[in-house]
A = this chain, B = another copy of it.
């Protein structure tokens, strides 16, 4: 990867979480492509972000073109679309980093942890893609709510899990570029915590009538 910032493809980037992350990365200077099932939706999503940013720097493409054009892909589709979306992109992702943001929520009881058999949805994805795609799990616990408000300090650390440590380092930089603190949280299988935690945070939001609970890891040096 060169000294210039890598191009990011946010797949499913018209949704709340993907769009919020894309906004923060574009604002930090990353070349960002919004990916969607149709080019039209992606172009509209990109135009919305460009209007917010006051610059013309975000592009929109269908998911396959976006994954092909980017150096790093970020998957922000709903759980039900996770595997099918990636199956179509496997060839385009070879040799790249895929950041999986998927939370395996099972509606309607999204405040209850209901992990898939075997535990982690992202571990299943890594097995499907093979070792030449560096899958990294991150951003599952960041509430989309305030990402598009740059004045809002999002109070949430990002647990970054992956079997390839240099790839984790790159994703930690992506978290930091969003104004979040990325933390090495171990191998990909540790992603179970981040995947399950979102349901706990939803449960806390409901119980305490708050909007966007998050987590901080304590005990780290500042």
**Stretch of A24-32, A40-48, A50-58, A198-206 contacting B (4+ beta carbons < 8 Å):** A198-206
Given A193-B196, A221-B208, the answer on whether A186 and B203 have CB atoms closer than 8 Å is yes
Contact present for A218 and B184 (CB under 8 Å): no
Contact present for B203 and A210 (CB under 8 Å): no
How far, in angstroms, from A218 to B201 measured CA to CA in the complex? 10
Copies in the complex: 2
How far, in angstroms, from A145 to B168 measured CA to CA in the complex? 29
Asked whether A115 is an interface residue with its Cβ less than 8 Å from the other chain, the reply is: yes
How far, in angstroms, from A172 to B185 measured CA to CA in the complex? 27
Asked whether A1 is an interface residue with its Cβ less than 8 Å from the other chain, the reply is: no
Minimum CB–CB distance from A108 to chain B (whole Å) comes to 14
Cross-chain contact of A196 among B183, B184, B196, B217 (Cβ < 8 A): B196
Contacts of A221 on B, CB cut-off 8 Å?
208, 210
Interface size on A, residues (CB 8 A): 40
Given A193-B196, A219-B155, the answer on whether A115 and B111 have CB atoms closer than 8 Å is no
Given A215-B218, A219-B210, A221-B210, the answer on whether A189 and B159 have CB atoms closer than 8 Å is no
Cross-chain contact of A112 among B114, B187, B205 (Cβ < 8 A): B187
How far, in angstroms, from A199 to B155 measured CA to CA in the complex? 23
Contact present for A185 and B213 (CB under 8 Å): no
Asked whether A151 is an interface residue with its Cβ less than 8 Å from the other chain, the reply is: no
5 nearest CB pairs, A to B: A186-B203, A155-B218, A213-B219, A214-B218, A216-B216
Can you list 7 pairs linking A and B with CB atoms under 8 Å apart?
A: A113-B119, A113-B190, A155-B219, A156-B218, A192-B192, A196-B196, A211-B219
